Amino acid sequence: EFRTENDKFSLAIQNRIQARYAIPFDSDPRSLSDLERDDSSFMIRRARTRLRGHAYWPWLQFYLQYDWSQPVLRDLTLTIDKYKWAKLWVGRGKVFYNDERVTSSANQQFVNRSIVNDLFTVDRQQGVQVFGNLFPGAWHDISYYAGVFTGLGVGESSNDDDHMMYSGRLQWNPLGGQMPFSQSDIEYHEEPALNFAVAAATNRSRCTVFATDSNSCRDLPGLAAGQDGQYRINQMMEEVRFKWRGFSMQHEMHWKEVVDTFKSQGDPARKTNMMGGLVQAGYFPHYLFPLIPKNLEFAGRYAFVDPNTGFKNDRQQEASGVVTYFFNGHLNKVNFQVSHLTIGNQSNQRYWLQWDLTF
Amino acid sequence: EFRTENDKFSLAIQNRIQARYAIPFDSDPRSLSDLERDDSSFMIRRARTRLRGHAYWPWLQFYLQYDWSQPVLRDLTLTIDKYKWAKLWVGRGKVFYNDERVTSSANQQFVNRSIVNDLFTVDRQQGVQVFGNLFPGAWHDISYYAGVFTGLGVGESSNDDDHMMYSGRLQWNPLGGQMPFSQSDIEYHEEPALNFAVAAATNRSRCTVFATDSNSCRDLPGLAAGQDGQYRINQMMEEVRFKWRGFSMQHEMHWKEVVDTFKSQGDPARKTNMMGGLVQAGYFPHYLFPLIPKNLEFAGRYAFVDPNTGFKNDRQQEASGVVTYFFNGHLNKVNFQVSHLTIGNQSNQRYWLQWDLTF
Amino acid sequence: EFRTENDKFSLAIQNRIQARYAIPFDSDPRSLSDLERDDSSFMIRRARTRLRGHAYWPWLQFYLQYDWSQPVLRDLTLTIDKYKWAKLWVGRGKVFYNDERVTSSANQQFVNRSIVNDLFTVDRQQGVQVFGNLFPGAWHDISYYAGVFTGLGVGESSNDDDHMMYSGRLQWNPLGGQMPFSQSDIEYHEEPALNFAVAAATNRSRCTVFATDSNSCRDLPGLAAGQDGQYRINQMMEEVRFKWRGFSMQHEMHWKEVVDTFKSQGDPARKTNMMGGLVQAGYFPHYLFPLIPKNLEFAGRYAFVDPNTGFKNDRQQEASGVVTYFFNGHLNKVNFQVSHLTIGNQSNQRYWLQWDLTF
């Protein structure tokens, strides 16, 4: 980290490597043929550089993140961080919507996010967000987040129509205050910490789902490629996070409605409804059995996606177990994860071995 | 900035963010349908990192510029800067042709360049340039620039034929010496400074216009995509720049001839002639009315493009006004610009709000 | 180079520019029409940044290399460098196969690699390598390298089938120990150094040749684009390297067999056999004639490729001479190379002028 003498400027550089071996396939299966793939691979899954610091005033903070293995500018934000109760965020980056997405891939409890993420994420967007923390420490300790965005992800510079994306998140922190977006109870909370949140977002554009990529505006499996302004998306989310003495638990439930505005009101294909959710819990058994190394965590997760509530037998499920050894917290860790992945009534196992190193 | 103890090497890193909100559209309209777009957008318009320094000898200077939001290597040059009267430039970067293009997007008076730029720019090229300043301080103070380039922009590594691009610029600095390529009189010139320049360039290739992009060799609107060596381009430019006591004025006039060498001599479609020009002026009113904040500038610009002098009613015009507050000169400023854009006899307004921050 | 006080972390940044002028063409010709190209060009051939250092432990080394002019992550490796006799390499980078490819483009004796390279290289891959040096200094001083990789190059994150690429290299260092992968005897070996090596690799995938590019899995000229798992490649190599008192010599011989597994056993088109080789030698004549500047080297190379041993008159040949002035060893040098390139019985000359600067 560099700092000018008068503390007018500062700059910290951080690099991260995520090396993974996946067998028999890597990406989440969405169809029966996906389940049958046999493409075991070594890969550099993520290769990121982050620049972080402040400029001109200590409260003017910048943050840039680039992934060398997927050349798109992921994050570039200016945050006016003067008042805890109201911060202003300008640029491109993650919408403060749900924990699983906002938590960095470096700070996840598992090797990767659950099968819920790819279909429900609001992802990274370009725009403006206001957020803050009210009544810190009180029983009615509240965090809020509100944003307006172009709504086509990070890969497009111009909007497709004059509709913006709007998002909001409200979080109640009854115990332990506002938790940072970081999974696993590495910090060892002596006192329990508990956060509840709800969030909603709406957008009209040609996209039905987003990815952080130069092709960021994408189509949900089964939906035709959108034309400018064709799809209205309404989505909602409910989330619980809890950490105490090496134990951590979290839960999210997602609803998403895609309205094809080019179809007439009576057309049953006009609306698609989707649902998904996850629950995961982890523990450092050292705190029960001191013989077990202190930095070893075991965790389990169940997640499901119903990609169209109007259809039967299309439910996707994930049941995963992971063992993680934290050499230096989330900065240097090795995970081994087994996932049992089900689509309808067929299933397959996936194994992941990963080393995540930040320096 | 880092420097080795013996001053054999130095390296300075600079980052720049340009965050913009555009309504109802962003890019310059070139057709009637462009004028009717309604795509208001937040965007990270530019996200650049610059490395600058010297290596092995103090006179061997390097400069690299990359834009994270548009992944192409913009500038990478080595300059042998030993003699003021003759410097040698090798690599990839801007041709020293006209002020509007050569001035960094960070040092413009307006939010963006005028409507003239995209169609007349010689842009960035790969090759060699020689330039220098003769008789500094005399009434016949002269700057010259001459270059030879591959002539397909920065996106192609090989030429399409054996014709090179040649460019030359001659500048007379009767008052105040050679001005740097930076707009607005932020420096507050006590004495008037005045520079005249003329420039010319010629190239034969498949390109009729250039952009700094991985697709750098482009076609003018209305011209068919070129084949290898199809188009000969001849262009000329005349430029005046003036700064005095917070007032600044500049003017450019451009001519461009595109010859389709695949058409026979008698064919009237063989040659396309284009014309364009701009005049802009700005002032810091604080110097007249001390109550007005010192760092506030007002400026106006008129620009026109005649994309084909053989056609009528295709004239494109821009009349813009801009208000800029310079927190830290060009390094940290906010602009608000209104443009009245006309094509033939139809027009529309465009509004731009922009924060440009270099650190 | 930066280093934390406890030496837990270190980071060195290195940049490199390779500016080249090529006439009448740049890339190696593979067909008669290639020989007739006339595209003389200035180019930034390479523009690289390297990050190198260690993290958490002195023996955990990282290395990242990016080329700004060709945006793909070239190298990103973690090496556990604790024991000379067994190092573990994880990530993406060059397979330790042959000297010509493994030697950085900055440390070559010529302007560019020979015509053998593009068709026989195993290139960069993603996976794991183990290597080490046994009995250092003894007459049976041995270096070994073994690796397993996904086998589609650096541009693909997932494998196309469940077949991995395997590679091995065995090197005997009878004189002077294990030489680093760096050409020309800049170091001036007082005592002769001699290394012999053999290597082999096998892979099954849709690729028949590799390039470090986002499109890394490529087809040999004359072979149809592959489908998943279509081609089995078996290849072998033999190599000699020698340096003594300003003189350096090296030689490689390559064999490659491409088996189209979709064709039946009896089909004569099922197997394609290729052969290629090079021999090159250089000398700093200053050591014989002290009047000649010390940093001037002359070198010559002969290389040939037989792209299909079943065909006649398709042999490609290169005879090259190069003069190099090393301002600061391989870090700052200028080369001028002439190549006489032959395909069948037609030929052409190619001239290259290049400045390679690392800082």
Q: How far is A298 from chain C, CA to nearest CA, in Å? A: 24
When CB atoms are compared, the residue of B51, B71, B73 closest to C44 is B73
Identity of the amino acid at B119: L
- Round the average pLDDT of chain C to a whole number and report it: 94
> Are C73 and A25 a contacting pair at CB < 8 A?
no
Count the Cβ atoms, other than its own, within 10 Å of residue B219. Answer: 14
How much is the pLDDT for B37?
87
Angstrom distances, CA of residue B91 to CA of A326, B52, B130, B354: 46, 14, 12, 31
Any residues with CB less than 8 A from the CB of C176 and at least 6 apart, and which?
C189, C191, C192, C193, C194, C195, C243
Q: What's B35's DSSP letter?
A: H
How much is the pLDDT for B271?
93
Q: What's B99's DSSP letter?
A: H
Q: How far is A67 from chain C, CA to nearest CA, in Å? A: 9
Neighbours of chain B (3+ CB pairs under 8 A): A, C
- Round the average pLDDT of chain A to a whole number and report it: 94
Separation CA A110–CA A106 (nearest Å) = 10
Q: What are phi and psi of A103, to 5 degrees?
A: -60, 130
Considering only residues 164 to 223 of chain C, which have any Cβ-Cβ distance to chain A shorter than 8 Å?
A: 164
> Are C73 and A44 a contacting pair at CB < 8 A?
yes
When CB atoms are compared, the residue of C19, C39, C327 closest to B56 is C327
Neighbours of chain A (3+ CB pairs under 8 A): B, C
Burial class (CB in 10 A: 0-12, 13-18, 19+), A83: exposed
Residue of C54, C203, C56 whose CA lies nearest to C121: C203
Strand partners, A128: A90, A148
Which residue did the predictor score with more confidence, A71 or C115? C115
How much is the pLDDT for C284?
97
B40-48 mean pLDDT: 90
Q: Percent of chain B scored above 70 by pLDDT?
A: 100
C12-34 mean pLDDT: 91
pLDDT per position as a tens digit, C50-65:
999 999 999 999 999 9
| CA A118, chain centre distance (Å) | 9
> Are C43 and B162 a contacting pair at CB < 8 A?
no
Separation CA C223–CA A95 (nearest Å) = 47
Residue C1 pLDDT > 80: no
| CA B299, chain centre distance (Å) | 18
Neighbours of chain C (3+ CB pairs under 8 A): A, B
How much is the pLDDT for A172?
97
Residue A1 pLDDT > 80: no
> Are A39 and C76 a contacting pair at CB < 8 A?
no
> Are C17 and B164 a contacting pair at CB < 8 A?
no
> Are C39 and B64 a contacting pair at CB < 8 A?
no
Per-residue pLDDT band for A69 (boundaries 50, 70, 90) equals: confident
> Are B39 and A158 a contacting pair at CB < 8 A?
yes
Q: Please identify which residue in the block is written with the tokens 């290596």.
A: B55
B151: left (phi over 0), alpha (psi -120 to 50) or beta: left
pLDDT per position as a tens digit, B60-98:
999 999 998 887 899 999 999 999 999 999 999 999 999
How much is the pLDDT for C302?
98
C344-348 mean pLDDT: 93
Whether C65 contacts chain A with CB within 8 A: no
Q: A356: which chain C residues are within 8 Å (Cβ-Cβ)?
A: none
Structure tokens that stand for B61 in this block: 């200077």
Whether C157 contacts chain A with CB within 8 A: yes
When CB atoms are compared, the residue of A15, A42, A45 closest to C127 is A42
Residue A155 pLDDT > 80: yes
Cβ proximity of C209 and C119 under 8 Å: yes
Structure tokens that stand for B331 in this block: 């390094």
How much is the pLDDT for B358?
95
Strand partners, A207: none
- Round the average pLDDT of chain B to a whole number and report it: 94
Residue of A44, A8, A41 whose CA lies nearest to A24: A41
When CB atoms are compared, the residue of A66, A150, A160 closest to B42 is A150
Beta strands in chain A (DSSP E): 2-3, 10-23, 41-55, 57-67, 73-83, 86-94, 124-134, 142-149, 165-175, 193-205, 209-210, 217-218, 231-244, 247-260, 271-283, 296-306, 316-326, 332-343, 346-358
Suggest the residue from A23, A44, A215 to mutate for an interface test with chain C (most C CBs closer than 10 A). A44
Domain boundaries A2-358, corresponding CATH code: 2.40.160.10
Residue of B91, B64, B212 whose CA lies nearest to B148: B91
Residue C5 pLDDT > 80: no
Considering only residues 92 to 111 of chain B, which have any Cβ-Cβ distance to chain C shorter than 8 Å?
A: 92
Q: How far is A164 from chain B, CA to nearest CA, in Å? A: 8
> Are B149 and C42 a contacting pair at CB < 8 A?
yes
Q: How many CB pairs under 8 A join A and B?
A: 74
Q: What's B270's DSSP letter?
A: G
Residue of A nearest to C70 (CA): A71
Separation CA C232–CA C260 (nearest Å) = 7
Q: How far is C153 from chain A, CA to nearest CA, in Å? A: 10
Residue B40 pLDDT > 90: no
Per-residue pLDDT band for C334 (boundaries 50, 70, 90) equals: very high
Q: C7: which chain A residues are within 8 Å (Cβ-Cβ)?
A: none
Structure tokens that stand for C36 in this block: 């007739």
User: For every residue of chain C, which 3-state class applies, written as one string?
Assistant: CEECCCCCCEEEEEEEEEEEEEECCCCCCCCHHHHCCCCCEEEEEEEEEEEEEEECEEEEEEEEEEECCCCCEEEEEEEEEEECCEEEEEEEEECCCCHHHHCCHHHCCCCCCCCCHHHHCCCEEEEEEEEEEECCCCCCCEEEEEEEECCCCCCCCCCCCCCCEEEEEEEEEEECCCCCCCCCCCCCCCCCEEEEEEEEEEEEECCCEECCCCCCEECCCCCCCCCCCCEEEEEEEEEEEEEECCEEEEEEEEEEEEEECCCCCCCHHHEEEEEEEEEEEEECHHHCCCCCCCCEEEEEEEEEEECCCCCCCCCEEEEEEEEEEECECECEEEEEEEEEEEECCEEEEEEEEEEEEEC
Q: C359: which chain B residues are within 8 Å (Cβ-Cβ)?
A: 9, 53, 55-56, 62
> Are A17 and C76 a contacting pair at CB < 8 A?
yes
Separation CA A282–CA A242 (nearest Å) = 11
Residue C185 pLDDT > 90: yes
When CB atoms are compared, the residue of A19, A69, A328 closest to C78 is A19
Residue of C52, C53, C145, C130 whose CA lies nearest to C99: C145
Q: How many CB pairs under 8 A join A and C?
A: 74
Residue C175 pLDDT > 90: yes
Burial class (CB in 10 A: 0-12, 13-18, 19+), C215: exposed
Separation CA C354–CA C42 (nearest Å) = 10
pLDDT per position as a tens digit, C101-137:
999 999 999 999 999 999 999 999 999 999 999 999 9
Longest alpha-carbon distance in chain C: 67
H runs (alpha helix) in chain B: 32-35, 99-102, 117-120
Per-residue pLDDT band for B160 (boundaries 50, 70, 90) equals: confident
Burial class (CB in 10 A: 0-12, 13-18, 19+), B355: middle
How much is the pLDDT for C69?
84
When CB atoms are compared, the residue of C11, C55, C161 closest to A39 is C161
Q: C25: which chain B residues are within 8 Å (Cβ-Cβ)?
A: 158
Burial class (CB in 10 A: 0-12, 13-18, 19+), B9: middle
pLDDT per position as a tens digit, B309-349:
988 889 999 999 999 999 999 999 999 999 999 999 999 99
Q: What are phi and psi of A293, to 5 degrees?
A: -55, 145
Q: A351: which chain C residues are within 8 Å (Cβ-Cβ)?
A: none
Whether C127 contacts chain A with CB within 8 A: yes
Which residue did the predictor score with more confidence, C40 or C247? C247
Separation CA B300–CA A182 (nearest Å) = 50
Q: Please identify which residue in the block is written with the tokens 């169209």.
A: A308
> Are C26 and B76 a contacting pair at CB < 8 A?
no
pLDDT per position as a tens digit, A118-154:
999 999 999 999 999 999 999 999 999 999 999 999 8
Separation CA B92–CA A209 (nearest Å) = 39
When CB atoms are compared, the residue of B27, B42, B328 closest to A128 is B42
Question: Pairing relation of β-strands A165-175 and B73-83?
Answer: unpaired
When CB atoms are compared, the residue of C17, C42, C355 closest to B76 is C17
Cα dihedral B134, B136, B141, B144 sign: positive
Cβ proximity of A33 and A42 under 8 Å: no
Q: How far is C279 from chain A, CA to nearest CA, in Å? A: 35
B42-50 mean pLDDT: 91
Cα dihedral C150, C155, C160, C165 sign: negative
Separation CA B277–CA B230 (nearest Å) = 27
pLDDT per position as a tens digit, B236-263:
999 999 999 999 999 999 999 999 999 9
Q: How many CB pairs under 8 A join B and C?
A: 75
Beta strands in chain B (DSSP E): 2-3, 10-23, 41-55, 57-67, 73-83, 86-94, 124-134, 142-149, 165-175, 193-205, 209-210, 217-218, 231-244, 247-260, 271-283, 296-306, 316-326, 332-343, 346-358
Considering only residues 66 to 95 of chain B, which have any Cβ-Cβ distance to chain C shorter than 8 Å?
A: 66, 71-73, 76, 78, 90-92
| CA B322, chain centre distance (Å) | 18
When CB atoms are compared, the residue of B51, B92, B158 closest to C39 is B158
Any residues with CB less than 8 A from the CB of C217 and at least 6 apart, and which?
C152, C153, C155, C156, C160, C205, C206, C207, C210, C226
Identity of the amino acid at A31: S
If DSSP codes are grouped into helix, strand and coil, which group holds residue A106? helix
Per-residue pLDDT band for B4 (boundaries 50, 70, 90) equals: confident
Separation CA B313–CA B304 (nearest Å) = 13
How much is the pLDDT for B157?
77
Rounded (5°) CA angle B154-B158-B161: 115
How much is the pLDDT for B100?
97
> Are C127 and A19 a contacting pair at CB < 8 A?
no
> Are C159 and A41 a contacting pair at CB < 8 A?
yes
Listed by start position, the domains of chain A span: 2-358
Q: How far is C12 from chain B, CA to nearest CA, in Å? A: 13
> Are B41 and A159 a contacting pair at CB < 8 A?
yes
pLDDT per position as a tens digit, C262-280:
999 989 889 999 999 999 9
Q: What is the CA radius of gyration of chain A?
A: 21
Residue B150 pLDDT > 90: yes
Residue C99 pLDDT > 90: yes
